[in-house]
Chains A and B, each alone.
Chain A
């Protein structure tokens, strides 16, 4: 009888494929746009890999190795949903994570809630994930757009600039970023006015004319949300035409290495930005992460994506260890006010809205050795910039 059972089990394993049953690892389904947004997804993946090698070399989680199954969704939400189902039902993943694009994150989030899967949104910037479209199964790591814009607005309110121009890519993230900046700045300084709003199409900026339009509005200060190739073109045209001269510029995410590094010696100087000044760390967990990253990937330097990837894997490892199980209910319970040690210090996944308390670095851009860097930077905890708990509760659907 026993032999028959063994035989049956062996047959089952042979039929069903060994990957799902034979290996004793804990699997996490990771969905990202590895090809569509290679410049952002590659550093992210490296960050995850670094964290995994650290976690697994010190015993893994619950006595097993932690494993990420990386899948490419071509940047399409529909595709991501299909892959999510496969990861959870066929590959034996215990939860989902990943994505950079907001729309893909929102699609997975809605799907996760419907099916009862846990989803940790790593990088998407849409605040709807935790607020207006929040649900019990979705959590988010990265600092919200609202918070980062509020940090810039706080600094902007300190100056005597009254007339503001904004430039942001014409899609949901851009409009949300401008809205957040306007609301926060008006709150702190009601007399400001927004004299022009520019909305170039994402990655199709017509930089020369945008710069001219801003110049002709004669603003005192400029708020920039463009990034990637749009930012490069905007900076170049703007510098050539002198639009930044004598004006304070506030750049959302502009200080992140992903965007600042490609600008090389043409990086703008004197902008107040949010970003990731990894080169400035001298001690502590921040520095330790940077050193470990450079040691693991010689010739590479960490990007903000690397940090987010690292913190994602660390969050998941802590979550499973705390839950003591990989069952969804146990994980959900453990996620409430989960505390995770990260290179940025301890962060908490707020039970209130499932948003982590990952903060952001703010500072001023400068040129050093022909490279754009952030100077006079500081780390800001997001708590002071969040909407009030009541406001958050009002935004989140009641379920």
Chain B
């Protein structure tokens, strides 16, 4: 009994920081519809700023004052981010802003390293709360009890602010219909800035308040972000009480998981998330999303048509140059282009469901890595010939996508995205955990192609043929009746259904096709590198693809490919520099601000303006 109570209290205490960070993210999403990947970075800044302040301010007042001040300072940093980075891109396509927040993550990572150094920092203990209280014989840290006591006050304060104040009413109104709020004369941009301040301050507060239980280190930004997303989604996006309930639920479950199924700690959270989303698609306390909010913000997408003569000739010339590369360039150039082509195919497969299908997947890497693992497992355990193992990569990934898609397509919008994330994390943790089969994070090695493909040049042509082939097939499908049907389901599911289209089935098939193509890219990848590790199915990999699709232009057909080429080339060059993350982050932010419709979208517009391309020809 004592142990049970003690565990419950530990779970509740752990929920405090998680709730603070998650409520901030939830608030920001609810009002601004921005999925703020950089929220973990704000949490990390809160920890570092709080630590620095505590080292200078002594005593009770210093400790608690530092926590509050850390919140305020991080809130102001959030305002700077909102005004400088996000405000210029509010009118961009839905979810485009997440690319900008990704740039912010990179910038903050390098700045934090510059300012606070690489070494982990241990947080100071709370003055007067250093020891334990015996509850039913079990030791419970005093600071845990303090956290448990503080959290309801913050929850109540937020609730009061949202429910009772005029600003809060405006915030709620904006959560429900921000255009109407604007039409009624409320200054939206100040409302957004204010919400960003509050959300960031909560993240900073969360970072500072956990100091006595841990400290500050440079990995904490990415380490907390997935848990925060889970809490926000399980609670219901935009719901503060939901975030509280979910934070408690996840933390308490985690504590009991540690006690009874210690190996399960990685996977438990995502199982909960997947179950909740399947039973309650909008989270525990979330509201159903209003139709039409997704995919149609900003300029309406134009009808598509096959590339014109000029476009086709350009592609042919480019392919001819690529085919000649081995005759004039170094072997490294071939390796680099192989990498880029593989990534392009992966990005193109995401773009297929994302822009033509309107289905934003946050877990697309599961199919890329899934395909790679299918090949690698076959080679490792049944000594399958490379050619067969390679063919089974897209098939395996396609089957996986059929399975995952069956669950996910019931949802739409951000909730669809989150469910794909949950499933991809489930598969990831399975691969990571099942060491006896998958090798865990030590992966599977020595997965090399057959002799006829083992040369760099041979594999280069192989990748070129299949990679470019895959991209062209996807493009062709977009122009086929199936592609038109898919876009119909995206633009208006109801109308599509009324014309006799089985919307869910079309989406399901498209999802599986995109998965199979990602699996093809994964198959190419594993035989080019000779090894595969779980990081190829991680969230970070999914986001890599997501970012290049948005960066290239989500409302274009070639955006993913162009974005992938741009990103891979820039990264290859920048990582030679000392502060490459800072530079890359700033570059991404700059591109986002200069080209809010993505590289291709904005170039197209520019071309039209100066009369270089005619409007009907410009559907590249």
Contact = CB atoms under 8 A, between A and B. Distances in A.
B277 to A, nearest CB: 22
Given A72-B580, A200-B258, A201-B266, A39 B120 contact: yes
B120 A228 contact: yes
Interface string A194-228: 00111111011011111011001000000000001
A242 interface: yes
Given A110-B446, A264-B122, A103 B265 contact: no
Interface stretch (A170-178, A248-256, A332-340, A381-389): A170-178
A81 interface: yes
Interface in B1-34: 3, 6-7, 10-11, 13-14
B132 A240 contact: yes
Contact of B218 (A38, A113, A232): A38
Contact of A228 (B6, B217, B529): B217
Contacts of A175: 435, 440
Contact of B332 (A85, A110, A206, A242): A85
Contact of A229 (B130, B214, B531): B214
A198 B217 CA distance: 23
A74 B255 CA distance: 32
Given A198-B258, A229-B214, A106 B531 contact: yes
B566 interface: no
A241 B529 contact: no
A126 B109 CA distance: 28
A172 B113 contact: no
Interface stretch (B70-78, B138-146, B308-316): B138-146
A38 B118 contact: yes
A216 B258 contact: no
Contact of B213 (A74, A233, A262): A233
A133 B445 contact: yes
A42 B578 CA distance: 12
A203 B223 contact: yes
A38 B441 contact: no
Contacts of A106: 442-443, 445, 531, 533
B449 to A, nearest CB: 10
B330 A89 contact: yes
B535 interface: yes
A314 B319 CA distance: 47
Given A39-B119, A212-B259, A199 B265 contact: yes
B220 A78 contact: no
B533 to A, nearest CB: 5
Given A82-B335, A199-B262, A237 B213 contact: yes
B594 to A, nearest CB: 25
A76 B535 contact: yes
A305 to B, nearest CB: 11
A40 to B, nearest CB: 8
Nearest to B445: A110
B131 A240 contact: yes
Contacts, number: 195
A106 B443 CA distance: 8
Contact of B255 (A39, A114, A209): A209
Contacts of A39: 118-120, 217-218
Interface string A72-89: 111111110110011001
A110 B118 contact: no
B254 interface: yes
A89 B441 CA distance: 29
Interface residues of A, number: 65
- In this complex, the interface size class of chain B, counting residues with CB under 8 Å from chain A, is 35 or more
A236 B213 contact: yes
Which of B132, B223, B441 is most buried by chain A, counting CB atoms within 10 A of its CB? B441
Given A35-B109, A208-B13, A210-B258, A242 B132 contact: yes
A90 B333 CA distance: 9
B217 A229 contact: yes
Interface in A223-278: 228-229, 232-233, 236-237, 240-242, 261-264, 266
A229 B220 contact: yes
B186 interface: no
B166 interface: no
Nearest to B580: A72
B215 A262 contact: yes
Contacts of B13: 208
A350 interface: no
A380 interface: no
Contacts of B110: 35
A297 B220 CA distance: 28
B144 A107 contact: no
Which of B122, B335, B580 is most buried by chain A, counting CB atoms within 10 A of its CB? B122
Interface string B101-113: 0000000011001
B119 A111 contact: no
Nearest to A38: B118
A109 interface: yes
B441 A209 contact: no
A172 B3 contact: no
A52 B198 CA distance: 51
A126 B440 CA distance: 12
B339 interface: yes
Contacts of B530: 81, 107, 110-111, 114
Contacts of A172: 435, 439-442
B176 interface: no
B258 A206 contact: yes
A134 B129 CA distance: 52
B330 A103 contact: no
Contacts of B151: none
Contacts of B125: 236
A232 B124 CA distance: 12
Contacts of B118: 38-39, 42
Which of B110, B113, B443 is most buried by chain A, counting CB atoms within 10 A of its CB? B443
B433 interface: yes
A314 to B, nearest CB: 24
Contacts of A201: 265-266
B121 A111 contact: no
Which of B110, B217, B454 is most buried by chain A, counting CB atoms within 10 A of its CB? B217
B336 interface: yes
A355 interface: no
A98 B361 CA distance: 36
A396 interface: no
A172 B534 CA distance: 12
A199 B220 CA distance: 19
Interface string B520-536: 00000100011101011
A171 B332 contact: no
Contacts of A233: 213-215
Nearest to A128: B442
B52 interface: no
Contacts of B456: 85
B57 interface: no
Contacts of A74: 575
Given A171-B441, A209-B254, A78 B580 contact: no
B290 interface: no
Given A113-B446, A128-B442, 8 more contacts: A39-B119, A82-B339, A106-B533, A206-B265, A208-B13, A209-B254, A240-B131, A242-B132
Top 5 nearest A-B pairs (CB, nearest first) are A38-B118, A208-B10, A209-B255, A110-B445, A172-B442
30 contacts: A35-B109, A38-B113, A38-B218, A39-B217, A78-B525, A82-B339, A106-B533, A111-B531, A114-B454, A114-B530, A133-B446, A171-B432, A196-B262, A197-B262, A198-B258, A206-B258, A207-B214, A208-B14, A209-B11, A210-B258, A212-B3, A212-B6, A212-B10, A216-B259, A229-B120, A229-B220, A232-B120, A236-B214, A240-B132, A261-B119
